[in-house]
Structure 1
Amino acid sequence: MKPIFQILGVVVILAVAIAAVITLSATKPEPKKKAPEAQVARLFTETVERTAAVLTVRTQGEVQPRTAIDLVPQVGGKIVAVSDQFVEGGHVTAGETLVRLDDSDYQLALMQAKSQLAQSERLLAEEEANAEIRRKQWDWDELRKSDRPEDLALRRPHLAERRADVAAAEANVANAQVNLQRTKITVPFAGRVTEKAADLGQFVSPGTRLGRVFSTETVQVRLPLTDAQLGKLGLTIGYVPEPGAEPEVRFSAEVGGKLRHWTGKLKRINAQVDAETRLVYALAELDDPYGANTDDGVPMAVGLFVNAELDGRRIDPAFRFPRAGLRNTDTVYVVNDDDKLEIRQVEVADSNEQRVLATAGVVPGERVVVSPVRNPIAGMAVEAMQRGAAGESDVATGAAQAMGSTSMPGGGF
């Protein structure tokens, strides 16, 4: 019986303990619940400004000569003289003789042609005299109309033949003179020599390539344009300006460690889209790049790669805000008067590394968020701070509250 009483005692003790625990749990006071404080993200903003702006299109291209030719002779012969300027990089003037061929054979040909001309003129004079004698042998007043002499009797065909011989002889003289002049090889413009392929003592035949020369009177730059850039310019494919009303093109390039500038003109926009690049090319020109239109003596030289800027259409009004406020390509975050976040779409007319010009989506005076925002939600409460109004510690605090533990680049999304 003793073991049974021991077991009952243990059970009673356990029951009492459990009852005590239940009673204490049921009668303990409820802990006071404290509502969590809502954290408000602190964001930096900039105010939208109204402005009027002229859109700028930036592109680039390589300077090329408008006129460049291969130097080739039209007659053959031995080179007997070469200009000192007929070297790579040499400066040549219009009409200057660069290469002279041996003209002995052409001098003889000219003399022979002149001799043939003199003989033809003598024969023509003799035939004219004979024709006059034949004409005087006829008394036109005493003959009846039906008895008029034939042209052959008056030697008119012979006279025509002699006149044709004289004309042919004169053509031979002119041809010989031209061939003689062609022994002096010149260019019709002022320019620079880019290549020399023949020299003194070499025999050349007609069509032999002697070198290459380009004109320094005008250079041109082929500028690629996207469809968006065409829209900024307000121009169409195939545009050709009126003479004297060509749009200005500002060129720049670094030469000798210094940025140089030149100003040219837009001459036309091609009437076709490039099949490979899907771009449209515009052609800009600069007159006298090696003379009057240098930058402190530095020319916009052929082969130079230059940047180009063109002024496009004017926008008024335009709404300007910092580039950091633009997310993706057309989204901005705006803090409204109730300090709530709004997510908007804007129509971007132009943008660069510093600013954005919009035509719709924002209005002057509104606050655009320029600091990074993680997981933005329309309508979320935020605290707007003007950039520069807080110290470095506030900047760090605001960024931490907006981003949590994740660091994002300054440009945002």
Structure 2
Amino acid sequence: MSKTTGRILLFLPIFVILGFIALITVMVMTAPRPERVSAEPAPVAVFAAQVENTNVQLSVSTQGEVRPITQINLVPQVSGRIVYVNPNFIEGGFFDAGETLIQIEDADYRLAVTRAQAQVAQAQQALVREQAESDLAASEWQELGQGEASSLTLREPQLAQARASLAAANAQLQEAQLNLARTRVSAPFAGRVRSRLADLGQFVSPGTQLGQVFSTDAVQIRLPLTDNELSMLNIPVAFQATEDNPGPRVRVSATLAGQYREWEAELVRTDSAIDSQTRVLYGIAEIDDPYGAAAEAGGSPLPVGLFVDAAIEGRVVDGAYVMPRSALRGEDTVYVAELGGTLSIRNVSVITSNPEQLIVSGGVSADDMAITSPVRAASNGMRIRTIGPDGEIIDARSAVLNSDDDEADEDDAEGQGEEARLASSAG
């Protein structure tokens, strides 16, 4: 074997490997490349509810405490020992107007009346005697005197003094009778006893607190109202209800003895000034006969001290837009599901909202679907898939695509029918 042949055999494997690599390279470079398809983001599933256009009766929700309109501290005007206590004069007891609640020992005051009556009798006798002497002096002057008699001659000063003494005696008698009547302690109204601070046998003096009572003819509830809530009620700041201009109705509710109760009240006036600490104006609602007629209507008496919820009837807004409260984003933003399956950010004019509803006056229409579920990184034009409150898919974009598919199917059917007609005619 020659040297040339040996060299060829030596480098032959290398040439084969290089040729194989070159072939693979050419195949890779000439192979068809797959087309790149840009993947569109999947639509975001959202829940939505129909926006309603209707007339809305606004309502202001607030809270307050039931308080008596009339409440007094029961105190005596005379001193003495307590000899009688009414069985109803106890915490929670009911009493009638003028009913004796406490009786103070009156023996000393009866004696004072007797002494005053004796002084009146003496003063009357002195006046009669002085009147007779004055008449006698006038008669003697007519018979014996000359000219005009002086007042002293006719005993007119003595007669005036006797009359004044009688008037003073009568005043003392009236005072003694008044003190005697004041030994019987009562209230000028029908009510209930809130507390009792005195008992049988106790000595009391004028001003000693015997207890605390309140009237049951009506109760009141002070309800805090913000400036926005006042505008919803459409009442002036200095409001006073009259027969011609009654106040808004108030539905008072509370859970009492494990049961939900409701009572009807009326907003009768607003407070005289805005509270300097809370910056709210208080409205006063009143309920008549809380232990009688109101108790029958509400199924239970409305006790003093109960903390209640109050819904005040406000003005009527014509053509308002109503949607679920969860549709509100921030202070005045709502997300709307547009036709074509996109999201639209709207600014709305909020009238009021509560835990269930959002009421606005503009920014949306009755045909809109308000998005109620959370949406992360929301933006105008974001692709969405809308789901209704009952779980049904109401995506407008899907409806449009389905209609396009239906039209394509109809075109295919028409084309196939035309081909069939041409074939039959050719045959």
The amino acid that maps onto 2:383 is: A
- Structure 1 counterpart of 2:92: 89
Look up the SS of the partner of 1:267 in the other structure.
Answer: strand
Q: Displacement, 1:95?
A: 0.7
Shift of 1:22: 12
The corresponding residue for 2:405 is: none
1:125 to 121, 124, 128: 128
Amino acid of the structure 2 residue aligned with 1:228: N
Q: What TM-score results when the alignment is normalised by the length of structure 1?
A: 0.85
Gaps of 5+ in 1: 1-8, 396-413
Deviation at 1:319, TM superposition (A): 0.8
Which residue of 2 is the match for residue 40 of structure 1?
Answer: 43
CA distance in 1, matches of 2:161, 2:32: 139
More divergent stretch after superposition (321-330 vs 206-215): 321-330
Question: Does structure 1 conserve the Cα–Cα contact (< 8 Å) formed by 2:84 and 2:200?
Answer: yes
Structure 2 equivalent of residue 223 of structure 1: 223
Give 2:232's aligned residue: 232
Q: What is the correspondence of 1:11-410 to structure 2 with a 5 Å cutoff?
A: 24=26, 27-29=29-31, 31-38=33-40, 39-139=42-142, 147-243=147-243, 245-295=246-296, 298-390=300-392
- Take 2:376 and 2:134, find their aligned partners in 1: how far apart are those partners? 112
How far apart, CA to CA, are the structure 2 residues paired with 1:142 and 1:348?
103
- Higher helix content, 1 or 2: 2
Amino acid at match of 1:230: L
How has the CA–CA distance of structure 1 residues 125 and 73 changed in structure 2, closer, same or farther, with 3 Å as cutoff? same
Provide the rounded CA distance (Å) in 2 between the counterparts of 1:140 and 1:294: 84
Shift of 1:335: 2.4
Amino acid at match of 2:160: A
Per the alignment, do residues 292 and 141 of structure 1 end up closer, same or farther by CA in structure 2, a change over 3 Å counting? farther
Return the alpha-carbon distance in structure 2 between the equivalents of residues 324 and 150 of structure 1. Answer: 102
What letter is aligned with 1:312? G
Which has the higher mean CA deviation after the structures are superposed, 117-126 or 373-382? 373-382
Q: How far is 1:156 from its partner?
A: 1.4
**Structure 1, 347-356 or 361-370: larger mean CA deviation:** 347-356
Cα 1:374–1:58 shift into 2, 3 Å: same
Q: Match for 2:97: what amino acid?
A: A
Residue 116 of structure 2 aligns to which amino acid in structure 1? A
Contact 1:320 1:355 in 2 (8 A): yes
Render the CA deviation track for 1:271-290: whole Å, top value 9, x for unaligned: 31111111211111111111
The answer to which of 122-131 and 241-250 deviates more is 241-250
TM-score norm. by structure 2 comes to: 0.82
Q: What is the alpha-carbon distance in structure 2 between the residues aligned to residue 42 and residue 181 of structure 1?
A: 83
Q: Which structure 2 segments of 5+ residues have no match?
A: 1-10, 396-427
**1:27 & 1:214 partners in 2: Cα distance?**
103
- Give the deviation of 1:29 after TM superposition: 4.2
User: Partners of 1:166 and 1:336 in 2: how far apart?
Assistant: 99
Letter in 2 for 1:134: A
Query: CA offset at residue 389 of structure 1?
Result: 4.6
1:142–1:75: structure 2 CA closer, same or farther, 3 Å change rule? Answer: closer
CA distance in 2: counterparts of 1:235 and 1:348, whole angstroms: 20
Q: Which amino acid aligns with 1:379?
A: G
Measure, in 2, the Cα distance between the counterparts of 1:195 and 1:387: 56
CA contact (8 A) 1:265 1:285 kept: yes
Deviation at 1:222, TM superposition (A): 1.0
The 8 Å contact of residues 248 and 314 in structure 2, kept in 1 or not, is answered as no
Instruction: Give the Cα–Cα distance (whole angstroms) in 1 for the partners of residues 76 and 357 of structure 2.
Output: 59
Compared with structure 1, are the counterparts of its residues 355 and 122 closer, same or farther at alpha carbon in structure 2 (3 Å cutoff)? same
How much does 1:112 deviate? 0.5
Which amino acid in structure 1 is aligned with residue 105 of structure 2?
Answer: D
Pairwise CA RMSD: 2.8
Q: State the match for 1:404 in structure 2.
A: none
**What is the percent sequence identity of the aligned residues?**
42
- Deviation for aligned residue 1:25: 9.6
Determine the C-alpha separation between the residues in 2 that align with 1:153 and 1:180.
Answer: 43
**Offset, 1:384:** 3.1
Partners of 1:141 and 1:31 in 2: CA distance: 162
Count of residue pairs brought into register by the alignment: 381
Q: Report the Cα distance in structure 1 between the residues aligned to 2:258 and 2:369, rounded to whole angstroms.
A: 42
Q: Could you tell me which amino acid in structure 2 is paired with residue 58 of structure 1? A: S
Q: Is the 8 A contact 2:217 2:289 kept in 1?
A: yes
Find the residue that maps to 1:228 and give its secondary structure: helix
SS in 2 for 1:222: strand
> Which protein shows a greater Rg?
2
Instruction: Note if contact 1:72-1:211 (Cα within 8 Å) is conserved in structure 2.
Output: yes
- Aligned counterparts of 2:66 and 2:317: Cα–Cα separation in 1: 31
Residues 387 and 306 of structure 1, relative CA distance in 2, 3 Å threshold: closer
Q: What amino acid does structure 1 have at the position aligned with 2:180? A: L
Distance in 2 (CA, whole Å) between partners of 1:321 and 1:72 is 59
2-structure distance, mates of 1:173, 1:45: 86
Matched residue SS, 2:329: coil
Which amino acid letter does the alignment assign opposite residue 305 of structure 1? F
Question: Does the aligned pair in 2 maintain the 1:239–1:271 contact within 8 Å?
Answer: no
Q: Give yes or no for contact 2:64–2:222 (8 Å, CA) kept in 1.
A: yes
